[in-house]
Amino acid sequence: MFIRNETIADIVNIAAVIERAFGRADEARLVERLRNDGDAAISLVATSGDAVVGHVLLSPMSAPFRALGLAPLSVLPQWQRRGIGSALVKSAVQRARAQEYRAIFVLGDPDYYGRFGFRTDLAVGFSSPYAGPHFMVLPLGGALPVVRGRVQYAAAFANPNL
């Protein structure tokens, strides 16, 4: 299993992985819109041989500091529970840190994302339509510069079909 940046040749395969993982087309359409909007800041694939078996995307957020939103994360059903999702998240975090982002926000299962350092308690000061018990933040490069403010996902997330 290998992790690398997406290329144009991966686009169709990524959509297939996302659809299979979520069992519907909404998240694949979201990724297409984010890419078309120029908001695919970090888009990584996990490969096995020539096959794309997993994908993660991070898009810029409007926030009081440079921040990314992680969504969606997907692994083909038959490849799940082998550490591929974890490897994608860890690689994405490394790249975000190297690009000097100060935080990554995610809406997800705290049990899953907690293992990578994402925290619900640090996200409570940030208002967003997604705020709630599943809203988390991972500070990068030290403590968050500010602990409250308004954060907003990239425009594609506002689409009512999501």
Ligand X SMILES: CC(C)(COP(=O)(O)OP(=O)(O)OC[C@H]1O[C@@H](n2cnc3c(N)ncnc32)[C@H](O)[C@@H]1OP(=O)(O)O)[C@@H](O)C(=O)NCCC(=O)NCCS
Output the six-digit token pair for 19.
């659809």
Interface residue with ligand X among 29, 47, 91, 108 (CB under 6 A) is 108
Residue 54 buriedness (CB in 10 A; 0-12 / 13-18 / 19+): buried
Interface residue with ligand X among 47, 110, 112, 124 (CB under 6 A) is 112
Return the range that interacts with ligand X (CB under 6 A); candidates 28-36, 71-79, 94-102, 148-156: 71-79
Phi, psi of 16 (to 5 degrees): -65, -40
Could you tell me which of 100, 101, 104 has the C-alpha nearest to residue 88? 104
Which residue, 116 or 145, has its beta carbon nearer to ligand X?
Answer: 116
Q: Which residues pair with 70 in a beta bridge?
A: 58, 106
Interface residues for ligand X in 18-47 (CB under 6 A)? 21-22
Q: Which residue has the tokens 């979201």?
A: 30
Interface residue with ligand X among 69, 85, 92, 139 (CB under 6 A) is 85
Please give the Cα distance from 102 to 16 (Å, whole number): 31
Element (DSSP H or E) covering residue 33: helix 26-36
Amino acid at 97: R
Considering the rule CB under 6 A, would residue 80 count as an interface residue with ligand X?
A: yes
Which residue, 17 or 140, has its beta carbon nearer to ligand X?
Answer: 17
Considering the rule CB under 6 A, would residue 73 count as an interface residue with ligand X?
A: yes
Interface residue with ligand X among 41, 57, 71, 154 (CB under 6 A) is 71
Considering the rule CB under 6 A, would residue 90 count as an interface residue with ligand X?
A: no
Interface residue with ligand X among 19, 64, 65, 82 (CB under 6 A) is 82
Which residue, 1 or 147, has its beta carbon nearer to ligand X?
Answer: 1
Helix (H, G, I), strand (E, B) or coil at 20: helix
> Where along the sequence are the contacts to ligand X (CB under 6 A)?
21-22, 71-75, 80-86, 108, 112
